[in-house]
Structure 1
Amino acid sequence: MRQKINRRFTGIALFSVVITTIVMTAVFYSQLKKQVFSDLAVVADLLIDEGSYARKTDNLRITWIDADGKVLFDSTVDGQSLANHLDRPEIAEAVSSGSGMGIRKSDTLSESVFYYAKKLDNGQILRVGRETHSVVAVLLSALPMVLTTALVLAAICLMVSHYLTSAIVEPINKMAGDMEHIDEGKSYPELIPFTRKIRLQHEEILSAANIRQEFTANVSHELKTPLAAISGYAELMEAGLVNDKEMKRFSGEIRKSAARLLTLINDIIKLSQLDAGNAKDILDVVNLAEITKESVEMLVFGAAKNGIDVVYEGDDRADVHIGKELAQELVYNLIENAVRYNKPNGRVIVKVQKEGTQIIFSVEDTGIGIPLEHQERIFERFYRVDKSRSKELGGTGLGLAIVKHICNLTDADVNLMSKPGVGTKIFIVWGRGST
């Protein structure tokens, strides 16, 4: 970028110098031409005042012409050999208006000449001319100064271009090298929104990388536990160190670990799909109330074994743009959590309500509750308030993370209210649900 900016600045600068030189030369020539005609007019007036027209000078051509166009005298050639001059532009102009000027190639001298002609009181014409080479000589004498000035200007422009390029690029390079303070640069206030956006994206990338790294480490740890249990029990059984009485218990432990492993893998796959954004393809308007009642029916019998009562309250129809698969995942996860972490003979109340243009889904339990210091992190992956209890109850630590992902994907707000020993209420609000 530095070279590109420098080349453009240099090109603009050199172009400006060339144009300036041409304009200066043109202006100088124009002023010189005016000065030449002015000088010729002064000479003509002096000759008229002296009344002496037939004289020769080194740098001037003096022509004295009769009123009928006949050349009476010419300081350069024999006037008798010259043709009638009434058709000359400067002569014709002098006859009509009293004076005339012109620059043209002389047939007699075979070169361009500046002419000034003035009409006398008796109708005759006095013409004074100066050959172009004398004017060009003045231009050539000034040319070295013009070229020197142009070269100096070009050199200055090159240095200024280099300086400006560095001044423009250096703050940007500093910002690129110090992403932590990218929005503290004062060089370009106009770039502050842009730099803040870059810093935000940089922080998001770092955050995502940290989350991915942490997630990978947690996945490895979580998978290792059931695999180690399965491997340990299998080794004992293979070595014949398990009697018939213990065989059934060991087989049951292997089955539990395998089930936990399968559940964990399924949750990881779901999270990966949500991270990749693939779930957006299955978004559709569904009746959330109907899906919720189906999930309650599936979980009510299992909950009843622990004396937990699961009931549904609310509307019979509440349409949400979420898709059937995601709706089932969200509803089932929250109700299952409320049952899993409830107290014996507890209660779970599930509601779907319509309030204006909003659809509100809530799950309230009378369970163990969540301490205040853990409530902000409860939706993080693999985060558990009580790790030993969670694993004992079969939790993977990913259920609420999946719920949070689904809410983000479907533009829903998720909120939590909980008190240890009293219970927990989680409610999700869709603001653009259709009724």
Structure 2
Amino acid sequence: MTTPVALLTAIGALVVGAVAGYLVARRRARREAARPAGPTVAELLMRLIRSSNNGVVVLNRFGDLVLHNPRAFELGLVRVSQADPRARKAAEQVVETDEPMEVDLSPLESRGRRQPEAVLGEVRPLGDGFTVVEAVDHSEAIRLEAVRRDFVANVSHELKTPVGAIALLTEAVLDAAEDVTEVRRFGGKILRESTRLGQLVTELIALSRLQGAERLPDLNVVEVDAVVREALGRTTLSAESAEITITTDAASGLLVEGDRTLLVTALSNLLENAVAYSQPGSPVSISRRLGDGMVEIAVTDRGIGIAEDEQQRVFERFYRADKARSRATGGTGLGLAIVKHVAANHGGSVGLWSRSGTGSTFTLRIPAHVRPEPAESGRGVKQPATAKQPDKTPERTTRLVATGQEISGPDRGGNL
């Protein structure tokens, strides 16, 4: 049987528990009340509109501006607190028909350009006489499409030349089948054209990979001297045929992070270009140095040079500074474009100094490989690293550097 004391104890416990629960709930409620309120749905919608990459404008039934986002200003959809007249006129029609419609909102001053700015807008009804105009900038897509069309047209033209030549030469061989001398002569020409065709296809594939069609190989530590030696080996035959001697400075021991095959290809293209555009017997040289954390490999020739007004275009695909000479040497017009993309994919650049009748210097810049050097304080300091000390027995040390100011930027377009 429960005693009065036990009963009072139980009641007291219940009362204390209830009071404690009430106090905890009240404290929680106070904390919730003190916490700042979250954004409302309207505020979230406004944030969404402001952050949109499209221009958004809301108009009332009179065509007055109700709200807009910053992107609408950038696209010219809003001017001096008023919407573009073309958008207002389209909004009036949408209010009458209650059907969405599209409108061209491209800047008037861009019309007639080769690559105009293209801004297309869609006007939609919101009810109660309100309309929304959403403008999208298609300029980049149009530019890329124009580049694609030009590229396809250039490739088609470049492929047509050797293919047509091979067809004509084959007919000539068939007509002169019994004349051994003529068959050999035409056969040699067919071989040269087929070699040129194969080189063009190979370089198109390489350029496609460099522009992102395929994942680039992993970068490794590469010896600059090894790259120079291999590139020289690839160019020896063409240099000897042109009676041109390629000289180099002493071994440097410099290192870069990159893909050896791509770097050799880029340097080989610069050397082949220098040989192709130099007079027989004129010198071509390679020099290496380290500056501002960049390894610079310069190829200098005493050739025909490049006119100043062409120096900003020479790294474009299929561009040739001297078209007649390029055809004579079998160039594809892609060599220097490949150099530019190799440099960019390695985080570097390519520079050009040239003067008509004097020669040219192309400088390939690639970030130097760095590694922590041991310090007395126990902390490693990153410094440009070399694989080894330069060989005490230098290579041929003749170095030719054209005088003048070096120009870097979009550079000599594919004059192999």
TM-score tier (shorter): 0.5 to 0.7
SS at match of 1:411: coil
Residue 164 of structure 1: how far off its partner (Å): 11
SS at match of 1:226: helix
Tell me how far apart the structure 1 counterparts of residues 255 and 230 of structure 2 sit (CA, whole Å): 15
Which residue pairs with 2:210 in the alignment? 274
Which residue pairs with 1:178 in the alignment? 105
Q: In 1, are the aligned partners of 2:340 and 2:350 still within 8 Å (CA)? A: yes
Residue 358 of structure 1: how far off its partner (Å): 1.9
Tell me how far apart the structure 2 counterparts of residues 223 and 261 of structure 1 sit (CA, whole Å): 7
Q: Higher relative CO (CA 8 A, sep ≥ 6), structure 1 or 2?
A: 2
Tell me how far apart the structure 2 counterparts of residues 242 and 352 of structure 1 sit (CA, whole Å): 55
Which residue pairs with 2:269 in the alignment? 333
SS at match of 2:336: helix
My pick for the range that moved more, 306-315 or 251-260, is 306-315
Residue 169 of structure 1: how far off its partner (Å): 6.6
Deviation readout 1:362-407 (Å, 9 max, x if unpaired): 1001111111111110000000112121011011000000011111
Deviation readout 1:6-39 (Å, 9 max, x if unpaired): xx77xx9xxxxxxxxxxxxxxxxxxxxxxxxxxx
Letter in 1 for 2:231: S
Which residue pairs with 1:140 in the alignment? none
> Does residue 167 of structure 1 match 2:66?
yes
Q: Which of the numbers 188, 191, 195 marks the counterpart of 1:252? A: 188
Residues 251 and 302 of structure 1: is their aligned pair in 2 closer, same or farther, counting only changes over 3 Å? same
Which residue pairs with 2:358 in the alignment? 422
Tell me how far apart the structure 2 counterparts of residues 242 and 203 of structure 1 sit (CA, whole Å): 60
Report matched runs for 1:127-146 at 5 Å.
none
SS at match of 1:401: helix
Which residue pairs with 1:294 in the alignment? 230
Deviation readout 1:80-131 (Å, 9 max, x if unpaired): xxxxxxxxxxxxxxxxxxxxxxxxxxxxxxxxxxxxxxxxxxxxxxxxxxxx
Q: In 1, are the aligned partners of 2:352 and 2:360 still within 8 Å (CA)? A: yes
List runs of 5+ in structure 2 lacking aligned partners. 1-40, 46-58, 78-102, 109-116, 120-135, 371-384, 386-416
Tell me how far apart the structure 1 counterparts of residues 237 and 166 of structure 2 sit (CA, whole Å): 29
Letter in 2 for 1:344: P
Residue 431 of structure 1: how far off its partner (Å): 4.4
Which residue pairs with 1:390 in the alignment? 326
> Does residue 368 of structure 1 match 2:304?
yes
Residue 214 of structure 1: how far off its partner (Å): 0.8
TM-score using structure 2 length: 0.57
SS at match of 1:282: coil
Letter in 2 for 1:212: R
Which residue pairs with 1:18 in the alignment? none
Deviation readout 1:304-356 (Å, 9 max, x if unpaired): 33321101214432222221121111111111111111111111111121125
Residues 301 and 262 of structure 1: is their aligned pair in 2 closer, same or farther, counting only changes over 3 Å? closer
Which residue pairs with 2:285 in the alignment? 349
Residue 247 of structure 1: how far off its partner (Å): 0.8
Q: In 2, are the aligned partners of 1:288 and 1:327 still within 8 Å (CA)? A: no
TM-score using structure 1 length: 0.55
Which residue pairs with 1:311 in the alignment? 247
Tell me how far apart the structure 2 counterparts of residues 183 and 389 of structure 1 sit (CA, whole Å): 40
Tell me how far apart the structure 2 counterparts of residues 263 and 305 of structure 1 sit (CA, whole Å): 19
Deviation readout 1:30-71 (Å, 9 max, x if unpaired): xxxxxxxxxxxxxxxxxxxxxxxxxxxxxxxxxxxxxxxxxx
Tell me how far apart the structure 1 counterparts of residues 174 and 273 of structure 2 sit (CA, whole Å): 37
Q: Alignment length, in residue pairs?
A: 264
RMSD: 3.2
Residues 300 and 240 of structure 1: is their aligned pair in 2 closer, same or farther, counting only changes over 3 Å? closer
Tell me how far apart the structure 1 counterparts of residues 368 and 142 of structure 2 sit (CA, whole Å): 32
Q: In 2, are the aligned partners of 1:293 and 1:312 still within 8 Å (CA)? A: no
My pick for the range that moved more, 353-362 or 292-301, is 292-301
Residue 266 of structure 1: how far off its partner (Å): 0.4
Q: In 2, are the aligned partners of 1:315 and 1:353 still within 8 Å (CA)? A: no
SS at match of 2:184: helix
Q: In 2, are the aligned partners of 1:286 and 1:320 still within 8 Å (CA)? A: yes
Q: In 1, are the aligned partners of 2:224 and 2:256 still within 8 Å (CA)? A: yes
Letter in 2 for 1:167: V
Tell me how far apart the structure 1 counterparts of residues 248 and 159 of structure 2 sit (CA, whole Å): 35
Q: In 2, are the aligned partners of 1:306 and 1:345 still within 8 Å (CA)? A: yes
Q: What's the % identity of the aligned pairs?
A: 31
Residues 330 and 206 of structure 1: is their aligned pair in 2 closer, same or farther, counting only changes over 3 Å? same
Which residue pairs with 2:338 in the alignment? 402
Report matched runs for 1:80-119 at 5 Å.
none
SS at match of 2:249: strand
Q: Which of the numbers 277, 292, 295 marks the counterpart of 1:359? A: 295
Letter in 1 for 2:302: T
List runs of 5+ in structure 1 lacking aligned partners. 1-7, 13-159, 185-197
Residues 326 and 180 of structure 1: is their aligned pair in 2 closer, same or farther, counting only changes over 3 Å? farther
Residue 416 of structure 1: how far off its partner (Å): 0.6
Q: In 1, are the aligned partners of 2:220 and 2:259 still within 8 Å (CA)? A: yes
Q: In 1, are the aligned partners of 2:172 and 2:186 still within 8 Å (CA)? A: no
